[in-house]
Amino acid sequence: MENSILTPRKQKLLAMIVEKYITTGEPVGSKTLCEALDMAVSSATIRNEMAELSEMGYLEQPHTSAGRIPSQKGYRYYVDNLMGVYELNEEERRGIASWLEPTSADPDKVLERAGGILAQLTNCAVVSTSPSDTQAVIRRAELVPIGTHTAMIVMLTSAGTLKSRVCRVDCELTLEVIESFYNIASKHFIGRSANDISTAMIQTLAAALGEKALLMTPLLVALSELAEASSRLDIRLDGQSNLLNYREFYENAFELMEFLHHSNSLAQLVTRGRGDTDIKIGTENLFRELENSSTIMSRYFIGGHDSGSLGIIGPTRMDYAKIVPSIKYLSQLVGSMLSDTLDS
């Protein structure tokens, strides 16, 4: 950290400028700071300090006669060194939990609702990933008849991934057929890594089933397709239209919207984090389209395993002190709910 570079007064002025600018969106002048400071400092002294902060790269002056705004370097110093620790109060925690609670039995719905909640709380675009774990094993495989010849196959992995698919068979789905499915699934799928389920494995298994092969193959193929789908990283995007409300994005709004629909780019964005919560400001982001944006990504854990990400894309002018705790709490809640689903 660079605490030794900035004097306490410079640190205080930088923090005030960042927080004023976050609130108002207007450049901050020396007069505003002089009125807000609780120390006896002249306006000239403040102007000198602001000029030095500008020379050091922490502030920018958008117009000759205007006040200053934080640079990306200024935001980074503020986040790393000056930002106060805001704790969600009990009412805020209960509110977020109550919004999420109705979906707690369905992993896909949990992430869908979490994305909507975070978009509403932050007014930013939200990116989330489905639970993913290269070591995930198949925990459950269910067959739910929905017609004489049609069934819903449902698979749950140890990573919390829940996938389903409708499958049609030529013969009638009798109790005997359903029992055979469960016996085969229990013996050959449950407890096995989802990555190990391959076409070759299904072909070998079908060949060993003898007269039951014709009947069971469509169901086994559906299971293998679900296993493949569960090992892929699914990315969800919510609230992208929120970004159109920020004047910071007026010039590159189309480019930014295009970027958000490139799943490969988003996959790199959400998997290249550092630690449990990762904040990248402006050009710290990997992609040129995000060089005037900030991204905050938080990992969620299922059963103690790093399983996925939940985070936002927004302008660099955002209330980091309040947004970061909200993202952290929501990601912890998602992990807890998905862990409870697996244990039930």
Look at the domain 8-82 and name its fold: Arc Repressor Mutant, subunit A (1.10.10)
Residue with tokens 């449950």, as numbered in its chain: 190
CATH architecture of structural domain 138-230: 2-Layer Sandwich (3.30)
CATH architecture of structural domain 109-132+233-343: 2-Layer Sandwich (3.30)
Cβ atoms within 10 Å of 176's Cβ, excluding its own: 10
Q: Give 323's contacts (C-beta < 8 A, 6+ positions apart).
A: 121, 122, 124, 296, 312, 314
CA distance 130 to 138: 16
Residue ranges of the domains in the chain? Answer: 8-82, 109-132+233-343, 138-230
Kindly give the confidence (pLDDT) of every residue in the chain, 344 residues in length, as a single tens digit, with 9 standing for 90 and above: 444 479 999 999 999 999 999 999 899 998 888 888 766 778 888 999 999 999 999 999 887 667 899 999 999 999 999 998 788 899 999 988 888 877 656 677 888 899 999 999 999 999 998 877 666 789 899 999 999 889 999 998 887 778 889 999 888 888 988 999 999 999 999 998 888 888 888 888 888 888 888 888 889 899 888 888 877 778 889 999 999 999 889 888 889 999 998 878 888 888 766 567 899 999 999 899 999 999 999 999 887 878 889 999 999 999 999 999 999 999 999 988 888 776 65
Residue type, 120: Q
CA distance 264 to 235: 9
